[in-house]
Chain A
């Protein structure tokens, strides 16, 4: 029975999902349920001169219409939850509906509630809003100029915050033997889960309880924030995340829309359902990235790096989202040295308001961006001094013997051995042979490139004291309760909140090994604030490292108590009891034993308990880890560029990740594949595009290129295991590794392929048109298209 951890086990959650028995938000039908729709601004920036709802109110089936003015004083503002200290952060108030001014295409203006799902959309067409257009700021660097239109009148130069970490004096850069400078644009992308957002509110006037089902990655954070926004006690607000069709960061934010639905349900005393449409999702759900990163990397001619200086100008959109400010600062700025031992580092970040949709964390949150800039710079530097990119990486890696390793920004990496996955990846690829082939193909005029990304990322949020120190308005510990039923079967309550990762299976593996009971005897409860006392949700690859840690500790507490009962029944002392494979034994005395199920029954019947031991077998643990975890690895891409069409074909993709203990290789590989698809998506095809007037030009899957099956080669994955010392499981995090690593690997491969044209950088995404232009102009246009 033991050793479920590490086994390739099929997911427990699947039969239900595969047979149409999933329970997603839109599947919820309640008696008397009304439907909501939100009229959104078609303009990037305008004054609302008047709103006429007269005709709309007469439409059949209309129940209520609310404007921003109607809600003034009734719903609070939607706060940001990451107020970066020392950054002079200016949070512009965001109300659930715009009151007198809209600030981006998609800004909510009017909420309509009607009886019918189709009818409510008809009503939107009957509302007349008189707008007076205002000048717009769309791109962050322009928005910071003195004469740029202001998104919020009292926020000078549209600067939401200015944050700095580390210092690198000018002379460190100026006097260095070699300095490489480059500027990268990490374009805006859309997390795009296939299930859009949704909220369903139900109010019980009898006891004043408001239940809100919503697409949340962290229902307890939603409860915490919304109880304040809606002025309702946390005890009376129940937030439930049912099955969630993907999140990727797009569902961690607390949005105006959820507050509106909760408010309307309470106000009307009738259930209200809101299902976001896809085009609405593109304009109103948070985007990711949108950072312009200027880097200077200094070192010696023989290849030792000495200093890095980075400036990040981040487009925050019109308001600061829940996690938004932390992404280009803490998440990005403290990781700029990547896997390398660079003694001096400095990062400066400007967060800028613009007339665009707010940005927030997107898979990897800051780490894909930091990895992208350092990995691109590493290649540029190696090329500048004529060193092989692999040799150059090795030379500058933080060394195995230096762990726990403190980087120049003061982060302490828990454990690491960066050569290990690199070597394995090179072996899988047969690197030497491949370089020779590349040489030969180049002579034939073919454009083949090999691209590396040797990443490390900060995951597993984390120590709560650190969260406090960096301005996060909450804790980041995790909670688990294990309840053992009289039958010996258990229910585990976890504060994490899965949305496709397969927690039920991986966590069951952990519990099964710990308690020595079969996987089938273990059930999980997640994502319901009434059932689970507290928790901080699933994002930042924290579930296994922090949530799994809590589960482990709770299991230990169960065993500890069960041992006391077993010892009492076997008439021996607790010290003499051994627990193995679900059996409590007196060491060295055969036959003297009690099974886990026996003790479950004894504890619950409580006929004969040792003195001082309370009935029942249940334990709770609150785990606040002492440090983050730092997964790492190497991804290598081989790409071919078609000279005639500018098309890029990925020929090989090798991913070797080290995420500490791998609980389930099957689901882990799945996470890696999915993560890679999202990173490759950013590098090659995806991009939110705004016109200069702030019009959203990519508002559906017709004009936003989502990766499809035929875009990818078979991904060759492998793992190495360097355990983390900061949790019982030795586990790190895996959800984001693929995204973090892949962007740089693809970009390095394509720039390598274009070497014959002297190309040093290409902007993402790698559209064929862009590449074709580079080839046509012999590389002259490489950075400007």
Chain B
């Protein structure tokens, strides 16, 4: 299959790669650009593990082709914060124990950032509804809800998405 060139600005850096036109964005990010924090859980756009931010909107990267995002700006979990300097969402998930195996977590945090962009002070119920697009098998969601609530407070203070990640 003939390959095409895709260029994106990902986590603040411009990156290009040649891909098959049918390649999913999620594989482009993981295999093409070696940013493996974004995960694949379902292949059918149910689980949200693959959520990333494209041009300011949270999308499931398994539902887009890499070629569709040519020229876009993408933020993945690696673009949030670092171990030394966690993004408020990451900090909140750590403090509230919002993860167990951590597999769904990058996508869940992205979905939560999208949620807070639209509704910076959500109630528990609004958070639970806002997480409709994600599945976590480990946590039972309770601590994810607490984490998002906590993050809302922390983020109100900072109001920025990209940290100083990779």
Residues of A within 8 A of B (CB): 10-11, 13-22, 24, 26-27, 29, 117-118, 192-196, 243-246, 248, 277-279, 499-502, 666-667, 669-670, 672-678, 700-702, 706, 708-710, 712, 714-715, 738
Q: Nearest chain A CB to B80's CB is how many angstroms away? A: 7
Cβ contacts A to B, 20 pairs, < 8 Å: A10-B95, A11-B94, A17-B99, A17-B102, A18-B86, A18-B102, A19-B90, A21-B37, A22-B37, A194-B101, A194-B137, A194-B138, A195-B39, A196-B41, A246-B103, A500-B100, A678-B137, A709-B131, A710-B131, A738-B140
Q: State whether A20 touches B140 (Cβ < 8 A).
A: no
A19, A196, A500, A678: the one within 8 Å of B77 (CB)? A19
Quick one: closest B residue to A16, CB to CB?
B83
Q: State whether B140 touches A677 (Cβ < 8 A).
A: yes
Q: State whether A673 touches B102 (Cβ < 8 A).
A: no
Q: Nearest chain A CB to B62's CB is how many angstroms away? A: 10
A245, A279, A706: the one within 8 Å of B102 (CB)? A245
B114 in contact (CB, < 8 A): no
B34, B43, B90, B100: the one within 8 Å of A18 (CB)? B90
Q: State whether A20 touches B131 (Cβ < 8 A).
A: no
Q: A500-B103, A502-B100 are in contact. List 16 more A-B contacts (CB 8 A).
A: A14-B99, A20-B36, A20-B76, A21-B37, A192-B137, A244-B101, A278-B41, A500-B100, A500-B101, A500-B138, A666-B97, A670-B140, A702-B44, A706-B137, A709-B129, A712-B141
Q: Nearest chain A CB to B7's CB is how many angstroms away? A: 21
A17 to B31 CA separation, bound complex (whole angstroms) = 19
Chain B residues, CB < 8 A from A245: 39, 41, 101-104
Q: Nearest chain B CB to A197's CB is how many angstroms away? A: 12
Taking each of A192, A195, A244, which has the highest tally of chain B beta carbons within 10 Å of its own beta carbon? A195
B5 in contact (CB, < 8 A): no
Chain B residues, CB < 8 A from A195: 39, 41, 101, 103
A708 to B103 CA separation, bound complex (whole angstroms) = 16
Q: State whether A194 touches B103 (Cβ < 8 A).
A: yes
Chain B residues, CB < 8 A from A710: 125, 128-129, 131-132
Q: State whether B140 touches A701 (Cβ < 8 A).
A: no
Taking each of A22, A194, A501, which has the highest tally of chain B beta carbons within 10 Å of its own beta carbon? A194
Taking each of A678, A702, A710, which has the highest tally of chain B beta carbons within 10 Å of its own beta carbon? A710
Q: Nearest chain A CB to B144's CB is how many angstroms away? A: 7
Q: State whether B140 touches A673 (Cβ < 8 A).
A: yes
| CB within 8 Å for A11 and B20 given contacts A26-B30, A194-B47, A702-B44 | no
A476 to B136 CA separation, bound complex (whole angstroms) = 30
Q: State whether B102 touches A13 (Cβ < 8 A).
A: yes
* Interfacial residues of chain B within 28-76, with CB under 8 A of chain A in the complex: 30-31, 34-44, 46-47, 49, 76
A462 to B50 CA separation, bound complex (whole angstroms) = 39
A670 to B83 CA separation, bound complex (whole angstroms) = 22
Q: State whether A246 touches B43 (Cβ < 8 A).
A: no
A246 to B104 CA separation, bound complex (whole angstroms) = 10
Q: Nearest chain A CB to B104's CB is how many angstroms away? A: 5
B78 in contact (CB, < 8 A): yes
A117 to B35 CA separation, bound complex (whole angstroms) = 17
A11, A27, A29, A193: the one within 8 Å of B97 (CB)? A11
A714 to B123 CA separation, bound complex (whole angstroms) = 13
| CB within 8 Å for A714 and B142 given contacts A14-B94, A18-B90, A18-B109 | yes
Q: Nearest chain A CB to B20's CB is how many angstroms away? A: 7
Q: State whether A673 touches B142 (Cβ < 8 A).
A: yes
A29, A674, A700: the one within 8 Å of B139 (CB)? A674
Chain A residues, CB < 8 A from B125: 710
| CB within 8 Å for A19 and B82 given contacts A117-B31, A677-B141, A702-B44 | yes
Taking each of B97, B105, B143, which has the highest tally of chain A beta carbons within 10 Å of its own beta carbon? B97
Q: Nearest chain A CB to B46's CB is how many angstroms away? A: 4
B124 in contact (CB, < 8 A): yes
A192 to B135 CA separation, bound complex (whole angstroms) = 11
| CB within 8 Å for A702 and B46 given contacts A15-B83, A19-B37 | yes
Q: State whether B41 touches A27 (Cβ < 8 A).
A: no
| CB within 8 Å for A670 and B97 given contacts A16-B83, A17-B105, A19-B37 | yes
Quick one: closest A residue to B27, CB to CB?
A117
Q: State whether A18 touches B103 (Cβ < 8 A).
A: no
Binary per-residue interface labels of chain B (128-159) against chain A in the complex, 1 for a CB within 8 Å, 0 otherwise: 11011011111111111100000000000000
Chain B residues, CB < 8 A from A246: 100-101, 103, 137-138
Binary per-residue interface labels of chain B (80-92) against chain A in the complex, 1 for a CB within 8 Å, 0 otherwise: 1111001000100
Q: State whether B140 touches A676 (Cβ < 8 A).
A: yes
A19, A20, A27, A700: the one within 8 Å of B44 (CB)? A700
B120 in contact (CB, < 8 A): no
| CB within 8 Å for A701 and B132 given contacts A22-B102, A500-B102 | no
Chain A residues, CB < 8 A from B144: 709
Quick one: closest A residue to B94, CB to CB?
A14
Q: State whether B86 touches A24 (Cβ < 8 A).
A: no
A715 to B142 CA separation, bound complex (whole angstroms) = 7
Q: State whether A19 touches B138 (Cβ < 8 A).
A: no
Chain B residues, CB < 8 A from A15: 83, 86, 90, 94
A672 to B142 CA separation, bound complex (whole angstroms) = 10
Quick one: closest A residue to B82, CB to CB?
A19
Q: Nearest chain A CB to B15's CB is how many angstroms away? A: 15
Q: Nearest chain B CB to A734's CB is how many angstroms away? A: 12
Q: Nearest chain A CB to B60's CB is how many angstroms away? A: 12
A675 to B139 CA separation, bound complex (whole angstroms) = 8
A672 to B100 CA separation, bound complex (whole angstroms) = 12
Q: Nearest chain B CB to A106's CB is how many angstroms away? A: 15
A244 to B114 CA separation, bound complex (whole angstroms) = 27
B22 in contact (CB, < 8 A): yes
| CB within 8 Å for A670 and B139 given contacts A17-B105, A500-B101, A701-B47 | yes
Chain B residues, CB < 8 A from A244: 101
A17 to B42 CA separation, bound complex (whole angstroms) = 20
A714 to B128 CA separation, bound complex (whole angstroms) = 11
Quick one: closest B residue to A122, CB to CB?
B1
Quick one: closest B residue to A502, CB to CB?
B100
Chain A residues, CB < 8 A from B139: 670, 673-674, 677
Binary per-residue interface labels of chain B (95-128) against chain A in the complex, 1 for a CB within 8 Å, 0 otherwise: 1010111111110010000000000000011011
Q: State whether A673 touches B143 (Cβ < 8 A).
A: yes
Chain A residues, CB < 8 A from B103: 22, 24, 193-195, 243, 245-246, 500
| CB within 8 Å for A278 and B141 given contacts A18-B93, A20-B36, A20-B78 | no
Q: State whether A18 touches B105 (Cβ < 8 A).
A: yes
Chain A residues, CB < 8 A from B141: 673, 677, 708-709, 712
Q: State whether B97 touches A26 (Cβ < 8 A).
A: no
Q: State whether B81 touches A194 (Cβ < 8 A).
A: no
A279 to B166 CA separation, bound complex (whole angstroms) = 33
A196 to B135 CA separation, bound complex (whole angstroms) = 14
Taking each of A11, A246, A709, A715, which has the highest tally of chain B beta carbons within 10 Å of its own beta carbon? A709
Chain B residues, CB < 8 A from A666: 97
Q: State whether B93 touches A14 (Cβ < 8 A).
A: yes
Q: Nearest chain B CB to A386's CB is how many angstroms away? A: 36
A18 to B129 CA separation, bound complex (whole angstroms) = 23
A152 to B95 CA separation, bound complex (whole angstroms) = 53
